[in-house]
């Protein structure tokens, strides 16, 4: 389903639900000891006398549901009752008893998107009091934002947009409009203005400009008591998650001290941790303690948001928890890792003369991800100092082959750096780089790791680590890699190692080896290896034509594109006329327009 169709379907589904809920009205009178009730819904109107259903009028068709009025009537215990229900802007019910008009009741029709939906903050508080956590709890507005077959976002996943440095271009404009609405609401409080604002901020694009709104709201002169009152109105009426976020930002512009315990609970739900953090940051030590509490009670996006927004004063307890206890999972993004390093004062801890095994292991888990990519050098200003002390401690803590791999990764990463650029854009200095590099090399060369590397390849275990250690130590490991490949080991890291470090003769031998396989029968891992070989053929003009031909016979768009891009860097004489028929077939039959154009251009030659 296209994004537009999905939007229309979702909007229509929600509108129907709101209309049905508003149409559900009850009218009741007491007459001479009898209770007479008329229940009006979107689908039917029912007359009940003394708890007995006397008459029902159903509207089963879509056209019937559009009728503006309905009459129900019946008799019981000498009463002849008739009720007429109808209206447009109001829903009226006129009661007639024994032919005489008794009373006319009115209900104003007000379709507010929050009116008939579960209010989120009371739901959160009640749920937490009952369960003690929010694990596996689905928010009551889930059906508003998602269709039945939609993929759900993880709680708080919008944090990627919230903290993104990439701007869409409309954030400041949208934020400015919203601040004007809030200013007008404070000047002339009215339900109409509140509902207008509600309908704006309930949309799922609010996180895109939420922090821009927060910054502009901070510059607005406000009556804090009046703003607090409006914040509480939105918190009490919020039946949509992004309205809760908006209410939290309003609350953060006021004094939050009397609501800290409520914010503690709300912030433990990962969907709202970021906005609770944004609301309480800068409100002192008590607020910071709640932010720390939220960090400990969340796991994914919530924990990341709390960490990013945690600011001074950072207590020793907070530092110790970050240093030793916060989970360091393999999928943790490097920005979060850098925040952990900075806010745990890792560099300071490593300056000690002696560190524990636990601290050294945590330092390894934090520092290695921060050096694997050159551009990350700017994320953590204290990285040079931390690495210098880390390498100093490594000389006593690294005593086995299994422990040396992180140092090998650091050494290989440093070898890929453009150090002139790093020196210019970060806190690194040449002397620090030289000291770290020489320290790592002294550890790598202090023992003979060759037997362990040979054993890893012989047993086929941890070969990727063995390649890193061998490469960093200057040991020639390519013969071991080549042997594994031609003996049937399809591992992408083996192929990558040989392609990058192997000589021409070995590469040609591997190409000859893989050309014997039926490509259509390969599993995804084996196929990835073939793709790596095809990509590498771009640097070897005219080599691997049999493999290229096999790839084009599969009618596989991905492989087809890889072959075309390889031909694009070959000489024309290397692929024509050998592949003329294959290219003509792509021009004629490929479902991809870009592929057809590419093949047509290649047929004409590109020299």
> CB neighbours of 463 closer than 8 A, spacing ≥ 6?
456, 457, 484, 491, 493, 494
DSSP state for residue 336 in the 8-state scheme: H
Element (H, E) at 90: strand 90-97
SS3 601: helix
Mean pLDDT on 246-253: 94
Mean pLDDT on 402-418: 93
The Cα 319–Cα 324 span in angstroms is 9
pLDDT of residue 447 exceeding 90, the answer is no
Report the relative pairing of strands 79-86 and 69-76 from DSSP bridges.
antiparallel
Alpha helix ranges (H) inside 202-272: 206-218, 224-237, 241-252, 260-267
Q: State both tokens at 43.
A: 């689908």
What are the helix and strand counts (H, E) for the chain?
Answer: 32, 8
The Cα 370–Cα 382 span in angstroms is 11
The model's pLDDT over 591-606, given as tens digits with 9 standing for 90+, comes to: 999 999 999 999 988 6
The model's pLDDT over 199-237, given as tens digits with 9 standing for 90+, comes to: 999 988 898 899 999 999 999 999 999 999 999 999 999
The model's pLDDT over 3-13, given as tens digits with 9 standing for 90+, comes to: 777 777 877 78
| Cα 316 to Cα 289, 345, 385, distances in angstroms | 12, 10, 21
Specify the pLDDT at position 456.
Answer: 92
The Cα 427–Cα 440 span in angstroms is 20
pLDDT of residue 63 exceeding 60, the answer is no
Specify the pLDDT at position 530.
Answer: 93
The model's pLDDT over 474-484, given as tens digits with 9 standing for 90+, comes to: 999 999 999 99
The Cα 507–Cα 513 span in angstroms is 10
Percent of the chain exceeding pLDDT 70 equals: 97
The pTM of the whole model exceeds 0.85: no
pLDDT of residue 167 exceeding 70, the answer is no
Closest CA to 298 of 128, 440, 437, 180: 128
- Taking all residues of the chain, what is their mean pLDDT, rounded to a whole number? 89
Which of 31-35, 153-157, 381-385, 483-487 has the lowest average pLDDT? 153-157
DSSP 285-301: HHHHHHHHHHHHT--SH
Give backbone dihedrals phi and psi of 489, rounded to 5 degrees, phi first: -90, 105
The Cα 159–Cα 162 span in angstroms is 5
pLDDT of residue 42 exceeding 50, the answer is yes
The Cα 506–Cα 481 span in angstroms is 10
DSSP state for residue 111 in the 8-state scheme: -
Please, are residues 289 and 274 in contact by the beta-carbon 8 Å criterion?
A: no
The set of long-range contacts for 552-555, using a CB threshold of 8 Å and a minimum separation of 24, is 552/579, 552/582, 552/585, 552/586, 554/519, 554/520
The Cα 101–Cα 119 span in angstroms is 40
DSSP state for residue 324 in the 8-state scheme: H
Q: Choose between 476 and 555: higher pLDDT.
A: 476
The Cα 383–Cα 56 span in angstroms is 76
Alpha helix ranges (H) inside 281-401: 285-296, 301-309, 316-324, 334-343, 346-350, 357-371, 383-397
Mean pLDDT on 376-388: 89
Specify the pLDDT at position 67.
Answer: 62
Specify the pLDDT at position 64.
Answer: 47
DSSP state for residue 259 in the 8-state scheme: G
Report the relative pairing of strands 44-49 and 34-40 from DSSP bridges.
antiparallel
The Cα 452–Cα 465 span in angstroms is 11
The Cα 506–Cα 415 span in angstroms is 24
DSSP 494-537: HHHHHHHHS-HHHHHHHHHHHTTS-GGG--HHHHHHHHHHHHHG
| Cα 194 to Cα 85, 88, 120, 211, distances in angstroms | 31, 24, 17, 20
pLDDT of residue 115 exceeding 90, the answer is no
The pLDDT-based confidence of 89 (bands split at 50, 70, 90) is confident
| Cα 350 to Cα 100, 357, 366, 384, distances in angstroms | 91, 12, 12, 12
Specify the pLDDT at position 68.
Answer: 65
Specify the pLDDT at position 65.
Answer: 52
The Cα 18–Cα 22 span in angstroms is 6
The Cα 575–Cα 485 span in angstroms is 27
Mean pLDDT on 23-46: 90
Specify the pLDDT at position 152.
Answer: 81
Q: Choose between 207 and 1: higher pLDDT.
A: 207
Question: What's the CATH class of domain 22-108?
Answer: mainly beta
The pLDDT-based confidence of 150 (bands split at 50, 70, 90) is confident
The Cα 274–Cα 155 span in angstroms is 11
Q: State both tokens at 209.
A: 């400009």
Q: To 5 degrees, how large is the angle CA 56–CA 61–CA 62?
A: 120
Please, are residues 80 and 98 in contact by the beta-carbon 8 Å criterion?
A: yes
Mean pLDDT on 404-423: 93
Mean pLDDT on 526-533: 93
Report the relative pairing of strands 100-108 and 69-76 from DSSP bridges.
unpaired
> CB neighbours of 255 closer than 8 A, spacing ≥ 6?
224, 228, 283
Mean pLDDT on 86-96: 87
What's the chain's Rg over C-alpha atoms?
A: 34
Specify the pLDDT at position 320.
Answer: 95
Specify the pLDDT at position 285.
Answer: 80
Specify the pLDDT at position 13.
Answer: 80
């Amino acid at each position: 389903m296209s994004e537009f169709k999905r939007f229309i379907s979702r909007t229509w589904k929600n509108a129907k639900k709101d209309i049905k809920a508003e149409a559900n009205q009850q009218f009741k009178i007491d007459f001479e000891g009898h209770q007479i009730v008329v229940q009006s819904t979107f689908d039917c109107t029912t007359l009940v006398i003394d708890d007995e259903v006397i008459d029902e009028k159903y509207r089963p068709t879509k056209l019937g549901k559009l009728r503006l009025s309905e009459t129900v009537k019946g008799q019981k215990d000498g009463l002849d009752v008739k009720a007429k229900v109808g209206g447009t802007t109001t829903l009226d019910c006129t009661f007639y008893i024994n032919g005489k008009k008794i009373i006319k009741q009115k209900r104003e029709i007000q379709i507010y998107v929050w009116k008939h939906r579960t209010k989120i903050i009371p739901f959160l508080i009640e749920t937490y009091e009952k369960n003690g956590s929010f694990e596996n709890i689905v928010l009551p507005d889930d059906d508003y934002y998602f269709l039945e077959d939609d993929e759900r976002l993880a709680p708080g996943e919008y944090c990627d947009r919230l903290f993104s440095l990439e701007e869409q271009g409309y954030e400041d404009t949208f934020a400015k409009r919203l601040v004007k609405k809030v200013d007008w609401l404070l000047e002339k409080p009215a339900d109409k203005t509140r509902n207008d604002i509600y309908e704006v901020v309930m949309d799922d694009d609010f996180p895109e400009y939420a922090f821009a709104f927060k910054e502009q709201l901070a510059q607005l002169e406000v009556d804090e008591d009046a703003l607090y009152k409006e914040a509480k109105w939105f918190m009490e009426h919020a039946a949509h998650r992004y309205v809760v976020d908006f209410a939290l930002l309003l609350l953060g512009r006021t004094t939050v001290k009397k609501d800290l315990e409520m914010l503690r609970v709300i912030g433990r739900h990962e969907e709202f941790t970021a906005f609770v953090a944004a609301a309480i940051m800068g409100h002192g030590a008590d607020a910071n303690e709640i932010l720390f509490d939220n960090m400990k009670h969340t796991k994914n996006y919530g924990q990341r948001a709390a960490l990013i927004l945690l600011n001074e004063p950072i207590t020793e307890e907070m530092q110790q928890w970050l240093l030793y206890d916060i989970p360091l999972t393999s999928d943790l993004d490097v920005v979060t890792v850098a925040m952990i390093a900075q806010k745990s004062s890792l560099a300071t801890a490593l300056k000690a003369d002696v560190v524990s095994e636990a601290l050294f292991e945590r330092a390894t888990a934090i520092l290695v991800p921060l050096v694997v990519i050159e551009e990350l050098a700017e994320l953590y200003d204290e990285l040079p100092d931390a690495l210098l002390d880390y390498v100093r401690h490594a000389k006593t803590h690294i005593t086995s082959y299994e422990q040396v791999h992180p140092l090998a990764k650091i050494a290989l990463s440093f070898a890929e750096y453009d150090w002139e650029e790093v020196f210019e854009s970060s806190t690194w200095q040449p002397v620090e780089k030289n000291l770290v590099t020489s320290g790592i090399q002294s550890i790598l060369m202090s023992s003979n790791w060759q037997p362990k590397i040979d054993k890893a390849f012989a047993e086929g275990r941890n070969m990727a680590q063995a390649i890193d250690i061998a490469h960093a130590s200057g040991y020639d490991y390519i013969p071991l890699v080549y042997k594994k490949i031609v003996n049937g080991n399809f591992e992408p890291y083996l192929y990558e190692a040989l392609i990058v470090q192997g000589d021409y003769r070995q590469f040609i031998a591997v190409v000859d080896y893989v050309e014997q396989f039926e490509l259509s029968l390969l599993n995804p891992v084996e196929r990835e290896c073939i793709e790596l070989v095809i990509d590498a053929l771009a640097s070897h003009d005219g080599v691997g034509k049999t493999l290229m031909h096999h790839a084009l016979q599969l009618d596989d768009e991905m492989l087809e594109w890889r072959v075309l891009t390889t031909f694009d860097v070959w000489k024309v004489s290397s692929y024509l006329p050998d592949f003329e028929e294959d290219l003509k077939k792509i021009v004629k039959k490929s479902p991809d327009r870009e592929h057809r154009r590419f093949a047509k251009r290649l047929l004409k030659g590109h020299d």
